[in-house]
Amino acid sequence: MAKWQTRNSKYKDIDVVRQFHRHTMHLKANFSENRISEISYDDYKRTAGNVKMGLETADDVSFDNNLLEVIQRRRTSWNFEKNMDRKQLAFLLEKSLGVTTVKDYQGRQVYLRAYPSAGALYSVIPMVYINKVEADLNGLLFEYVPESNELYVVREASLEVLDDLTSTTKFTEKKFSNASIVMFFLFNFKPIFKKYSALSYRLGLLEAGHMSSSCQMIATAMGYSAVPVGGFYDVNVNRFLKAGKNEFCLYILPVG
């Protein structure tokens, strides 16, 4: 097994963190002087031409609807012991990340989801690698589109590729192989930047956290284990997700 290696760099300089925090502060001057740029919602479109697969609404899936008990039971665990089928996958995605209501705002329809997002822009894209669900889905990375409740094929990939993406799965016995799915939260920086400027980075992190928390609660209610993973190799993960130059993965969540 490969050994950990450390080196001196600005990565371990706390002053760099302080400086970054100052540069992303939300100040009156940021908006009064620079104004808010008009956002083109076409900037978010990235699935045209890909193979798509619809997910049927699955309201007959068994789950624990006692919120306090679900919160009490939530734990970070690599013990992925429960199988997942297509119906359970659809339930997890729809109930944790899906559209809950549609509102009219300034002449356009806004599809509000099950978690908060700055300006209701939903700039973090849910990506799902399916490992052990059903044969026609396994081994594929998808983008999940809540507005249409569809999965769009992004690429094929092996578990060996996935295990090289994080320090935990690369250097320890904890692997993605027993998880039913591995979720990635990919931040599309450009559209939201037009409105929030440097603050956008903080807002993207917060949104990814809300999404992961929502997924963990629903997964726990369904009897699954989930592991929020932040220690991953950014360059490798972004390449795996086929991310654009303004897209960055912020969080990974295996579930099973």
How much is the average pLDDT of 173-185? 95
* 37 located within any domain: yes
Report the 10 Å Cβ neighbour count for 198: 13
Average pLDDT across the chain, whole number: 88
Between residues 12 and 38, which one has the greater pLDDT?
12
* 79 located within any domain: yes
Write down the pLDDT at residue 1: 53
What is the pLDDT confidence band of residue 44, given thresholds at 50, 70 and 90? low
Q: What is the CATH number of the domain that holds 76?
A: 3.40.109.10
Write down the pLDDT at residue 134: 93
Write down the pLDDT at residue 152: 94
Domain count across the chain: 1
Q: Looking at the chain, which runs of residues are DSSP E strands?
A: 52-54, 99-105, 108-113, 124-130, 140-145, 150-156, 181-188, 247-255
Compute the distance between CA of residue 100 and CA of residue 11 in angstroms, rounded to an integer: 40
Sheet of 140-145: strand order equals 52-54, 150-156, 140-145, 124-130, 181-188, 247-255
SS3 readout for 46-78: CCCCCCEEECCCCCCCCCCCCHHHHHHHCCECC
How much is the average pLDDT of 226-248? 95
- 142-161: per-residue pLDDT in tens? 999 999 899 999 999 998 99
* 237 located within any domain: yes
Q: Which residue has the tokens 């027993």?
A: 178
Evaluate whether 162 touches 178 at the Cβ level (below 8 Å): no
* 77 located within any domain: yes
- 23-43: per-residue pLDDT in tens? 888 776 665 444 555 555 556
* 38 located within any domain: yes
Closest CA relative to residue 186, chosen from 109, 129, 137: 129
**Residue 231 belongs to domain spanning:** 14-255
Whole-prediction pTM? 0.89
* 5 located within any domain: no
Write down the pLDDT at residue 195: 85
What is the pLDDT confidence band of residue 119, given thresholds at 50, 70 and 90? confident
Write down the pLDDT at residue 32: 44
* 7 located within any domain: no
In the chain, the amino acid numbered 216 is: Q
Report the 10 Å Cβ neighbour count for 204: 25
**Is the pLDDT confidence value at 116 over 60?**
yes
Write down the pLDDT at residue 53: 79
Q: Tell whether the torsion through CA atoms of 55, 97, 179 and 235 is positive or negative.
A: positive
Between residues 137 and 49, which one has the greater pLDDT?
137
Residues of the chain with pLDDT > 90, as a percent, come to: 63
Residues in the chain: 256
* 147 located within any domain: yes
- 73-96: per-residue pLDDT in tens? 999 999 999 999 999 999 999 999
What is the pLDDT confidence band of residue 15, given thresholds at 50, 70 and 90? confident
